[in-house]
Amino acid sequence: MKRLALLLALTVPLAGCGLQPLYSGGTRAAVAEGLGAVDVPAIPGQAGWLMRNALIDRLPQGSTGAAPRYRLDVKVDDRLEGLGLLSNDTVGRERRTVRARYQLVDLTTGQVVLDATAGSDAGLDVVSSEYGTVAAEQTALENLIRVVADRIVTNLALHLRRQARP
């Protein structure tokens, strides 16, 4: 009984903190329905292909089968630059940076309702094996694409929640 009373006493302050679940209402919530109504057209390049696939994996599929309400236009900038020079004038460290500028377009009006950027970067060692270096660069790209896609979808969800509020 004491534990229950303590638990209730601890939850009372949380009720006034203003935190609300993003997906309250499940698949019928405005955020879930809004994310399910986003179309992601093809994005050029290898990084673009990876980004589109990552976004499609993270966006819920529309359950109604209706035409999408939004289009997500994404431009991906992928850069790989050498940082540290070794004594034999070879690069010892690289930095891979992925940035994405994205626009959420309302297809009914043609207006851009969200225009933002997201990005991330990673450092990697250049090893003596060329295969090892190429594999590390590719893995870094794939990991960065996932991070940036997560940030894009989170920002879209926050935007759609703000729009759904009266």
- The CATH number for 35's domain is 3.30.160.150
Domain residues for the domain of 29 are 22-164
In a domain, 13, yes or no: no
In a domain, 100, yes or no: yes
Give 44-97 pLDDT, tens digit per residue. 999 999 999 999 999 987 555 668 899 999 999 999 888 776 666 677 778 899
Give 117-156 pLDDT, tens digit per residue. 999 999 887 777 888 888 988 999 999 999 999 999 999 9
Number of domains in the chain: 1
In a domain, 45, yes or no: yes
In a domain, 2, yes or no: no
Token digits of residue 84: 């540290």
Of 109 and 133, the one with more pLDDT: 109
In a domain, 1, yes or no: no
CA–CA separation, 90 and 93 (whole Å) = 9
In a domain, 61, yes or no: yes
Q: What's the first-to-final CA gap in the chain, in angstroms?
A: 41
CA–CA separation, 127 and 51 (whole Å) = 27
pLDDT at 58: 92
In a domain, 9, yes or no: no
Token digits of residue 30: 């405005």
In a domain, 14, yes or no: no
Residues in CB range of 135: below 8 A, 6 or more apart: none
